[in-house]
Structure 1
Amino acid sequence: MLSRLGAVEPDPDDEHGVGVIPRKAHLLEKAHDVLVEALATVDKI
């Protein structure tokens, strides 16, 4: 999941590239959720 962060490209009309921030934030949130779930599973073992 985190390896996809570098592949997020700004839209051609996005002069400063700020449009990638919400997309990267979404990927980071998903990665966080996966990590939290994995850690919760390990704690149950």
Structure 2
Amino acid sequence: MPLNNKATAASVITTGAANIGNTIVAIARAITSTPIPAWAARWFL
């Protein structure tokens, strides 16, 4: 049982990390495909 629980936890963590990664990529794509206003560029660059 402990091994099974560890495997499940690892699977959940891996899936969660992948979902976070996909979300970051999606946000980055949305940002790069959207024209950045000059004021926003000044804030972030």
Name the TM-score, length of structure 1 as normaliser: 0.59
Structure 1: any 5+ residue segments left out of the alignment? Answer: 1-12
Larger Cα-atom Rg: 2
Quote the RMSD (CA, aligned, Å).
Answer: 1.9
- Secondary structure of the residue aligned to 2:7 is coil
Paired positions, count: 33
Structure 1 runs of 4+ with >6 Å offset = none
Instruction: Please report the TM-score for the alignment, with normalisation by the length of structure 2.
Output: 0.59
Q: Which has the higher contact order (CA 8 A, sep 6+)?
A: 1
The structure where helix makes up a greater share of residues is 2
Residue segments in structure 2 that go unaligned for 5+ positions in a row? 36-45
2:12 partner letter = P
**Offset of 1:18 from its aligned partner?**
2.8
